[in-house]
Amino acid sequence: MSEQSGKQAELIARELAERDAQMEAVRVISAALCQVTKVNELVERALDVSLECVGAEAGSVILHDIDKDKLVFKYVVGEAADDLTGMEMEPDQGLAGAVFQNGEIDVSDDVTASTKHDRRVGEQVDYVTKNMVTVPLMSVEGRAIGVMQVLNKTEGVFDQSDVAILDILASQIAAGLETARLNEEARLAEVVRFIGNLSHDVKNMMTPVQTAAETLEFVADDTWTDFDGACERLGDSGGETVSDAVLSLRDLLPELTAMMKSGCDAVQMRMAEVSAAVKGMVTEPSFHEDDINMVIDQVVPMLAIVAEKENVTIEKDVSEDIGLAIMDVKQMYNAIYNLVNNALQACPEGAKIIVHSHTVQDGEFPDGAYLEVAVEDTGEGMPEEVRRKLFTDDAVSTKPMGTGLGTKIVKNVVDVHGGQVWVESVQGEGTTISFRIPIAGSPEALEMMREAEKLAELEEER
């Protein structure tokens, strides 16, 4: 065999080996993606497989959040995973932004020499990137949905074979993401339909209860009028004796019927909030100056009855001079109710739940000029991976048959108020969930109040 023929044979053998590697990568990624349908699981598995195929040390799948118009580190492998996961950046920031915008693969043998590389991200998480491949993730229609970055090849630098493999894997990942997204949307649509039907059924079941309470009030008014007349005819002694015998019932009946009607309204409102939370939105808020302690005073007694049966104590630790804040009272009620109810379900017998409230009048939000509510419990606490995801899109319920809708409702309410929510938890000791909202209202809340005032003025003029 001539020298030239030998070189040709070596070239063909190398090309065949590269094709074999590419085919094996496709087989592995296809098998991996067929095993999952949820987006977050798919992203994790896809990145793991990609790193294995090219022998890389770390990597990220960064997806575009259309609502926020941000690139979000959805899943990260490597030393900086905890710090980077969930981080957001502008859609044109760094190499990731550049590839997201132009849809072209970028291979950086030395990222320090690239003018597009944003060193701030690495410095922020104290991670050094040496070499990197950034691959666009494109939908079937050719729309950019994010990028995949593979960092620091363990041996040498990324070659053309690695790039070809990553290009193939990125296509598979993007297709898998789109399929998973459609599956999730289909499941959500089914849940929304179910919630709609359930809400209708609940309304039908609550209407007779509400009607009965209103009828009982009406009948009771006539009955007490007749009763008082009968007592007068019995005389002072006899009438007083009979009146005393039913005094507790007479005093309690209005409170009981009011609770029945309020409970029916609350159940129907809750169904509406659950339906809205499933759809990822909240009912149009109505902002006014109100007292958060009044809301807490409504929530605590109602759940204290349930807590007593479970041998759990619910207490209040509220500032008496807390003052008024701009809020939607109904939504605040829903948020605090869900926080206390979730704490109650997480608490064993003998545990304690404390609802705190206070304000800081001075300064600027979020460090000052805020109203803060915290629900503290001495329950079992939660694992760090659950705590970290609690108020994110990846949040999951740890309760049997739980949906996680309670935390979604809380997050939606806090977001609508332009606030912040966070969790502190230690396993075996308990959990505290706190939220802050600006006392004077967010710019959006103030704008809604102005619009409501204008509409009210127009109505008066008519």
Residues 268 and 135 in one domain: no
Residues with Cβ within 8 Å of 109's Cβ and at least 6 positions away in sequence, in order, are 131, 157, 158
* pLDDT of 25 above 60: no
Asked if residue 347 is part of any domain, the answer here is: yes
> Which backbone phi and psi does 142 adopt, to 5 degrees?
90, 15
Cβ(412)–Cβ(328) below 8 Å? no
Residues 349 and 403 in one domain: yes
Mean pLDDT, range 322-335, rounded to an integer: 91
292 — pLDDT class (breaks 50, 70, 90) = very high
Count: domains in the chain: 3
| Span 197-209, pLDDT tens digits | 777 777 778 888 8
Q: Which residue is listed with tokens 């291979």? A: 107
**What pLDDT sits at residue 40?**
65
* pLDDT of 419 above 90: yes
| Span 251-270, pLDDT tens digits | 888 888 887 887 787 777 77
- Residue with the bigger pLDDT between 457 and 104: it is 104
| Span 421-449, pLDDT tens digits | 999 999 889 999 999 999 999 998 999 88
- Residue with the bigger pLDDT between 27 and 47: it is 47
Domain boundary among 184, 205, 231: 184
- Residue with the bigger pLDDT between 456 and 449: it is 449
Asked if residue 457 is part of any domain, the answer here is: no
Domain that holds residue 73: 3-184
Residues 32 and 126 in one domain: yes
Residues 300 and 313 in one domain: yes
Residues with Cβ within 8 Å of 140's Cβ and at least 6 positions away in sequence, in order, are 175, 178
Asked if residue 197 is part of any domain, the answer here is: yes
| Span 161-181, pLDDT tens digits | 888 878 877 877 787 777 767
Asked if residue 204 is part of any domain, the answer here is: yes
**What pLDDT sits at residue 261?**
81
**What pLDDT sits at residue 38?**
59
* pLDDT of 16 above 70: no
Asked if residue 461 is part of any domain, the answer here is: no
End-to-end CA distance of the chain: 100
Q: Considering only CA atoms, give the Rg of the chain.
A: 30
Mean pLDDT, range 7-26, rounded to an integer: 58
Residues 320 and 359 in one domain: yes
* pLDDT of 24 above 80: no
Range with top average pLDDT, 165-174, 291-300, 400-409: 291-300
pTM: 0.52
The CATH number of whichever domain residue 20 belongs to comes to 3.30.450.40
Asked if residue 424 is part of any domain, the answer here is: yes
Residues 244 and 323 in one domain: no
Asked if residue 385 is part of any domain, the answer here is: yes
Mean pLDDT, range 396-406, rounded to an integer: 49
Residues 138 and 155 in one domain: yes
**Among 32-46, 119-133, 230-244, which stretch is predicted with the lowest mean pLDDT?**
32-46
**Among 1-5, 55-59, 344-348, 396-400, which stretch is predicted with the lowest mean pLDDT?**
396-400
Residue type, 319: S
**What pLDDT sits at residue 27?**
53
Mean pLDDT, range 79-95, rounded to an integer: 84
**What pLDDT sits at residue 233?**
84
**What pLDDT sits at residue 311?**
93
- Residue with the bigger pLDDT between 114 and 341: it is 341
Residues 303 and 434 in one domain: yes
**What pLDDT sits at residue 293?**
94
Mean pLDDT, range 104-109, rounded to an integer: 88
Domain boundary among 150, 184, 218: 184
Residues 122 and 193 in one domain: no
408 — pLDDT class (breaks 50, 70, 90) = confident
> pLDDT > 90: what percent of the chain?
21
| Span 305-327, pLDDT tens digits | 788 888 999 999 998 889 899 99
Domain boundary among 138, 154, 184: 184
Residue type, 44: E
Residues 265 and 159 in one domain: no
Residues 404 and 306 in one domain: yes
Residues 157 and 32 in one domain: yes
Asked if residue 454 is part of any domain, the answer here is: no
- Residue with the bigger pLDDT between 140 and 15: it is 140
352 — pLDDT class (breaks 50, 70, 90) = very high
- Mean pLDDT across the chain: 81
**What pLDDT sits at residue 368?**
93
- Residue with the bigger pLDDT between 159 and 360: it is 360
